Amino acid sequence: MKTAPKNPGKSPARPRGEKPTLIYGVFGPDLYQREGFLLRLKKEVLPPGDNLNFESYPAGEGLAEGLNAARTLPFGAARKLVLIRNLEKLSEDEIPQLENYLSHPSSSTVLVLEGNKASAKLKKLLAQAGELVEAEPIKESQVPDWLLGRAREAGRGLSREAAQVIAERVGSDLALASQELEKVLLYTDAKMIQAETVRKTLSGGSSVGEWDLANAIGARNLSGAIRSLNRLLASGDPPVMIVGQLASRIRKLFRTRLLLDKGKTEAEIGKLLKITNPSAVKYSCRDAQGYTQAEIRRGLRDLSKLDLKLKRSGLSPRLLLEMFLVGFVSGKSARK
């Protein structure tokens, strides 16, 4: 059954009585979207609390074991769910094992192969056997619509301005967007949530610090950036949220710098970037002129590495964030 790639943000649920898809290939760089799809699929396939019929294996050395598990019958249930992770680690030599299973899949098992990426050969194989689910990062401009959809799923209304307030805070990080939306939904019982409620809920005393940090970065004021960072941390802002704020700020610097280098005027830049306040356009252009394209590219690269270090290294978040600011604002980041 060959299908077009599915949006991971949509539920895998199907009409009652229709048989579930038995094979899914879930891949793409956005871990949050992959995990979200897997969670929704698990709720569809398994009864609440059924952990006996869910098994997870790593690709590579765990492929054979995972496929054997997929061939076994579920325990006291109609179906089981078997997940094989790290799809990118699957070698060409192991694909025949998978191909053999896909040609005769168990009718009582939903098999999911998940990972950061998949080869063209593997994508074709999985598309022919079941469904592909691509988890590509969404653009910042798409986040407000994503938030509106999530609010509707929760039975609530969110004004577009309110969604924009959250989006400006988190950039394109859907995990943070979901976290912030959850805070708002818990804070108010309103059926339609307005922007002012969002600002009041999410400020937490740190909104001034966010603007101070953004302004210090724009002015290449390292001491000011460090002070603002410390205020944000002291007010309880999670380090991963600060990374989201930094990413949003630096991406805006990059877009503005690109347009300046193309010879665009402030008025044209404001229109292209949808900034309606002339003063805001002026300050954005001024800040972008303080950085070269190469510096901003290195900053975005280093920020991606910082995000991984925060999640995996065990080092002090404050130290990692300060090291990033020193490198980016002072222009002393590694030139690789």
Give residue limits of the domains in the chain. Answer: 23-134, 140-203, 207-330
Pure H helices in 109-173: 120-129, 143-153, 160-170
Residue partners of 25: CB distance under 8 A and separation at least 6 = 87, 112, 113, 114, 118, 122, 123, 126, 127, 130, 131, 132, 133
Per residue in 274-283, pLDDT (tens digit) is 776 676 788 8
pLDDT at 123: 87
pLDDT at 205: 43
Distance of CA 303 to the CA centre of its chain: 14
- The predicted model scores a pTM of 0.53
Q: Regarding beta strands 157-158 and 192-193, do their DSSP bridges make them parallel or antiparallel, or are they unpaired?
A: parallel
State the Cα–Cα distance between residues 21 and 318, nearest whole angstrom: 45
Regions in the chain scoring below 70 on pLDDT: 1-20, 203-211, 276-277, 279, 332-336
State the Cα–Cα distance between residues 148 and 105, nearest whole angstrom: 38
Amino acid occupying residue 246? L
Per residue in 139-196, pLDDT (tens digit) is 888 899 999 998 998 889 999 999 988 888 777 778 778 878 888 887 888 899 998 8
Looking at domain 23-134, its CATH architecture is 3-Layer(aba) Sandwich (3.40)
pLDDT at 51: 82
pLDDT at 20: 66
Looking at domain 207-330, its CATH architecture is Up-down Bundle (1.20)
pLDDT at 174: 81
140-203: CATH number: 1.10.8.60
| Closest C-alpha among 39, 25, 55, 40 to residue 116 | 25
